[in-house]
């Protein structure tokens, strides 16, 4: 059971935060508070500053101005109050590290030297790892080499690793990328269950909002040096995104899923896009389709604007 709003604590606090590289401002004067148990989705085109925001929260990138605090303290690298699920990367077929050893790195990977434990401490460590593997449904392949795991299985292991230190904040950088729809739904539900059961704050960068739409409390949408922040039904609207992009944009709800499309392309038959942000140029402009889910262009029976 999640705590009442009055009992929640601020896990992430960004105040008047500005990040720029040279003459290019990714975002400025960003005020963001994420409370315990909240699920915040971060959307935007490639280059809009999504990953850079995560680097700020991980202590890997400094702000140009403004302040950032995690769990009431200044940000620092390697903090055990933050769990991090990185973007999916390929693993060499020759890597024979076991899945349980990856999870163990979430417990003691920040320590220098070879972690050697004996007796009761060793048994307690193994018990904790087993519990984390069970929590993400990975017990069956706990002793398999990670190079042999499927994409969905590997993401479960990475989530277990990120949660091993029982963090206040879980940062997810496109954890659904390259997963099929079933595995997207499974991973999204797994993360949501964790935040509900442990009151963990979640910040979730994604190109595909639909698998997490039922769970999202706030959306932070970055585009062209500007942003929109608020509940999904306020941010993911035609009026909101048209103002953000300074161009006509339509947000269409189809069977409980969202499709974002440039208004001048509405007559183009709404072709399906596998990469929903391929419609954006590098400067944040919107061109063509911005698809937040799979859909049948011929079926318009349930569409509304």
What confidence score (pLDDT) does residue 106 get? 84
Q: How far apart are CA 206 and CA 55, in angstroms?
A: 15
DSSP assignment of 146-195: GGGS-HHHHHHHHHHHHHTT--SEEEEESTTTT--HHHHHHHHHHHHHHH
Is residue 111 very low, low, confident or very high in pLDDT (cuts 50, 70, 90)?
Answer: very low
The b-or-e profile of 106-131 (16+ CB within 10 A means b, else e) is bbeeeeeeeeeeeeeeeeeeeebbee
Contacts of 14 (CB under 8 A, 6+ apart): 30, 31, 32, 33, 56, 66, 67, 68
Question: What's the DSSP call for residue 278?
Answer: T
The angle subtended at Cα 159 by Cα 153 and Cα 165, nearest 5°, is 140
What confidence score (pLDDT) does residue 87 get? 81
What is the average pLDDT score of the chain? Answer: 81
Q: Is the pLDDT of residue 270 over 60?
A: no
Question: What's the DSSP call for residue 286?
Answer: B
Which residues share a beta bridge with 230? 219
Q: CATH 3.40.50.300 region(s) of the chain?
A: 1-81+167-230
Is residue 305 very low, low, confident or very high in pLDDT (cuts 50, 70, 90)?
Answer: very low
Is residue 5 very low, low, confident or very high in pLDDT (cuts 50, 70, 90)?
Answer: low
Q: How far apart are CA 135 and CA 132, in angstroms?
A: 5
CB-based burial label for 244 (10 Å; 0-12, 13-18, 19+): buried
Is residue 40 very low, low, confident or very high in pLDDT (cuts 50, 70, 90)?
Answer: very high
Q: Is the pLDDT of residue 288 over 90?
A: no
CATH second-level architecture of 1-81+167-230? 3-Layer(aba) Sandwich (3.40)
What confidence score (pLDDT) does residue 117 get? 55
Q: Is the pLDDT of residue 233 over 60?
A: yes
What confidence score (pLDDT) does residue 124 get? 85
What confidence score (pLDDT) does residue 91 get? 65
Asked if 258 and 293 touch (Cβ cutoff 8 Å), the reply is yes
pLDDT digits (tens, 9 = 90+) for 168-207: 999 999 988 878 888 888 889 999 999 999 999 999 999 8
Is residue 54 very low, low, confident or very high in pLDDT (cuts 50, 70, 90)?
Answer: very high
Q: Is 241 helix (H, G, I), strand (E, B) or coil?
A: helix
Mean pLDDT of 61-89: 91
Contacts of 176 (CB under 8 A, 6+ apart): 183, 184, 187, 188, 206, 208, 211, 212
Asked if 86 and 173 touch (Cβ cutoff 8 Å), the reply is yes
pTM score: 0.79
In 3D, which of 40, 36, 45 has the Cα closest to residue 8? Answer: 36
């Amino acid at each position: 059971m999640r705590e009442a709003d009055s009992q929640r604590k601020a896990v992430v606090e960004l105040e008047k935060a500005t990040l720029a590289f040279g003459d290019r401002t990714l975002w400025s004067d960003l005020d963001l508070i994420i409370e315990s148990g909240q699920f915040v989705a971060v959307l935007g085109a490639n280059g809009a500053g999504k990953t850079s925001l995560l680097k700020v929260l991980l202590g890997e990138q400094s702000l140009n101005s403004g302040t950032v605090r995690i769990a009431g303290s200044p940000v620092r690298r390697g903090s055990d109050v933050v769990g991090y699920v990185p973007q999916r990367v390929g693993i060499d077929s020759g890597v024979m590290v076991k899945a349980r050893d990856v999870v163990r790195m979430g417990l003691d990977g920040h320590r220098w030297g070879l972690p050697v434990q004996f007796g009761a401490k060793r048994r307690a460590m193994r018990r904790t790892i087993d519990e984390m593997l069970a929590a993400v449904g990975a017990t069956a392949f706990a002793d398999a080499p990670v190079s042999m795991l499927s994409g969905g299985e590997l993401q479960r292991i990475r989530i277990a690793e990120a949660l091993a230190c029982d963090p206040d904040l879980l940062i997810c950088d496109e954890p659904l990328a390259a997963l099929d729809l079933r595995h997207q739904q499974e991973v999204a539900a797994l993360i949501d269950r964790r935040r509900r059961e442990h009151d963990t704050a979640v910040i979730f960068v994604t190109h595909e909002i639909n698998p997490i739409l039922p769970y999202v409390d706030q959306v932070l949408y970055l585009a062209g040096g500007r942003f929109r922040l608020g509940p999904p039904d306020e941010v993911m609207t035609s009026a909101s995104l048209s103002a953000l992009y300074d161009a006509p944009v339509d947000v269409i709800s189809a069977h409980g899923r969202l499709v974002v499309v440039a208004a001048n392309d509405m007559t183009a038959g709404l072709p399906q896009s596998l990469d929903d942000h391929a419609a954006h140029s590098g400067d944040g402009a919107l061109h063509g389709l911005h698809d937040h889910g799979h859909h049948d262009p011929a079926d318009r029976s349930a569409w509304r604007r």
